[in-house]
Structure 1
């Protein structure tokens, strides 16, 4: 068991105190700190990015080779933590609780935690399991003054957590699993731009993820959570299916074929796609093709006919019709506008 005592005043100090125990090297690039570890204790990265509106992003992308307990003293730094496990799982209990009170944060689950002042948070990280954990930490005073103008956007319970700037109370919420959030968390990890553009893109995604945590909590408090008969593994199968469609955009997918391949009924497929993407299977495929087509027109010299066939359509007129319905401009006009911008530049 590796025990890491943390009494940091911020997340930057937190990552340094973790490094002092498990080793590795911290490097900084464009304001993002990355602890890279490859030794007998762990292999992977822990990344930290701070924002000026009272929040920071902490990402675990790491495998520990022994169980890890993080014991965090909340005397100096006690944010509200919005946690999401993309892969693996982790555990948490407050310092005044027994080990039997340890709660597991499961894969795809939305979790919100806040400790009391001068209390302790005990985090548990398992051994030999690939962990991909997204943690958004919000400092109440700074966030309230810069970003939260109307408290009514939060339900009373969560609003009181934000208002508890003296940190008098503990709070924990273990929500239902949310696969829509998985796509946003994955988008952060798949960001390929560099420099300031990368930081701005990540900040935008952090806003969306934080909003999704809050909206889910509001809905579940009001018993407005999504109603579905699908199991988590079935929704995960549908999510993987959607990713496969995106990677094989020109393939002529049929509902029968997808049902046979996934082992799900057509009714479950339709229910799952509507729940996760607010689209039927056919609508999802069509939308994915249009987005690829837009990118091809914008970034390549392919003509419209070549684009049409490369994404699996056979009718140029049908493609032009639905492209204009989605983007408000025909493919030819879009291509021409791209050229004009290039000439002007």
Structure 2
């Protein structure tokens, strides 16, 4: 078992400290540091990025070949950590606790050490880990993001304003597959330069909001009730992705139920839990999103788009498009044409 003590004052130092322990090479582009490793200790990469509002992002996509413990020392840096695991699992505890708590795939965790107790994460060897970590340096964050205070319940508010690090805190959240979609979107950003950084920052802020919302739900004693198994929720998430990729198909609830092996009741419960929509509402949403993309990126006219995405009535399409986006398809298309004309001038 290998222990790595991380007592640093910034993200770059954290990357360098990891490199000293597990090897690899660090590259940098547009403020994003990437530690790539392929040796007897580990294989994969860890990405680090810092924003000017006191927030940093660390993305693990790595396999350790030894059991690994990361020990986060308390210092002036001592951030609040928001963890979300999209693959594998890890375990967490404070140094004076005897047992670790397991954080499984698709679960979120919020932790912060105190001036008297650091915290540590355990990673099992030979396990493929994908872990998204958002860290907040409280003093810097509070100077830049006072507008977030209305989102915080009393417990989280006390954590954020504890800039002297007097108290430790840990929250182990329930399953959330919605977060996984945003983490995947974050990892699949392929733009470069400032556009890439802005897109990453937007997804980080969205994920941070979701962490806070989940804790608020927990504090308000409104547990996220769902009778489905985790394997069933994963299956529904895959179904939703297939629908989004091929939204024009003539789906029926009966057919989806037969093909998935899930009852219609479970399908409806799962879609409402994951996407706050019934199955039919989700299909309609996917079609409207595809229609909007086609208007932006193709030369098809509106009638062609309507039929290509599986609708049979242009008037019905226009009605629900305006309900969703607050603008008619014709007006939306005109705005795109005007924008293109301006770009060509």
TM range (shorter): over 0.9
CA contact (8 A) 1:75 1:118 kept: no
1:36 is matched with 36
1:120 is displaced (CA, Å) by 2.7
1:75 maps to which residue?
Answer: 75
Q: Which runs of 4+ in 1 moved over 4 A?
A: 149-152
CA distance in 1, matches of 2:209, 2:199: 16
- Whether contact under 8 Å (1:292, 1:311) holds in the other structure is yes
Q: Who is 1:11 aligned against?
A: 11
Distance, in Å, in 1 between the alignment partners of 2:4 and 2:108 is 25
Q: Is the Cα contact below 8 Å between 1:7 and 1:76 reproduced in 2?
A: no
> Separation in 2 of the partners of 1:286 and 1:72?
46
Pairing of 1:264-303 with structure 2 (within 5 A) = 264-303=262-301
Aligned counterparts of 2:4 and 2:47: Cα–Cα separation in 1: 17
Aligned match of 1:203: 201
The answer as to whether partners of 1:6 and 1:73 remain within 8 angstroms in 2 is yes
- In structure 1, how many angstroms separate the alpha carbons of the residues matched to 2:167 and 2:319? 57
- Provide the residue aligned with 1:119 in structure 2: 117
Which structure 2 residues correspond to residues 316-331 of structure 1 after superposition, within 5 A?
316-331=314-329
Pair 1:91 & 2:102 matched: no
TM-score by length of 2: 0.94
Equivalent position to 1:221, from 198, 213, 219: 219
TM-aligned CA deviation for residue 149 of structure 1: 4.7
Equivalent residue number for residue 308 of structure 1 = 306
Question: Distance between the aligned counterparts of 1:79 and 1:329, measured in 2?
Answer: 43
Secondary structure class of the residue paired with 1:119 = coil
Looking at structure 2, the residues matched to 177 and 114 of structure 1 have their Cα atoms a distance apart, in angstroms, of 21
Between 38-47 and 308-317, the greater mean CA deviation after superposition: 308-317
Q: CA deviation at 1:118?
A: 5.2
Q: Deviations over 1:85-130 (max 9, x none)?
A: 01110111112222xx111111111211010125332211122222
Q: Deviations over 1:168-217 (max 9, x none)?
A: 12111111111111111111112122211111111111111111111111
Which deviates further from its counterpart, 13-22 or 144-153?
A: 144-153
- Residue 234 of structure 1, CA deviation: 1.8
Q: Secondary structure at the match of 2:21?
A: helix
For the residues of structure 2 that align with 1:281 and 1:61, how far apart are their CA atoms? 33
For residue 290 of structure 1, report the CA deviation from its aligned partner: 0.8
Cα RMSD of the aligned pairs, angstroms, is: 1.7
SS of the equivalent of 2:146 reads coil
Residue aligned with 1:52, SS: coil
Structure 2 residue runs of 5 or longer lacking an equivalent are none
Identify unmatched segments of 5+ residues in structure 1: none
CA contact under 8 A between 1:273 and 1:280: conserved in structure 2? yes
* TM-score normalised by length of structure 1: 0.94
